[in-house]
Structure 1
Amino acid sequence: MNSQSDEHEKKQIVFVPNNSDANVPGSILSVELDEGEEVEWLWTHLENGKSAVTGYTIIKKDDSN
């Protein structure tokens, strides 16, 4: 079921930043955000000094500014 309000919502696709180690496959490719949301990436730092995105949190933007 699709309502007119659903059709007017703006979505944004945000792609994961590149991992510093090409040998570490990431399971997250992108996230879809609703208007007023942003993503905070969770990085794991490996023993070899490289880093990889291993998770994320979607947070509501603070419009109090």
Structure 2
Amino acid sequence: MESKYLNVTQAATYLGTSVRFIRRLIAERRIAFHKVGAHVRIAVGDLESFVQSGRVEAITRRVA
């Protein structure tokens, strides 16, 4: 199984957000990341998990 790791800029592009937002997630430890020396890498699977954890289900109305 091959894991894909992204740097901060690539992760921001992947999520369609700013680099600052990704760095804030890392600083606040709200997303899992890996340190490789001085470099930070984020697994695509961890990004997907973060996005899914914020999912809100739609409310369906019942017709009476």
TM-score normalized with structure 2 length:
0.27
TM-score normalized with structure 1 length:
0.26
Greater fraction of residues in strand: 1
Greater fraction of residues in helix: 2
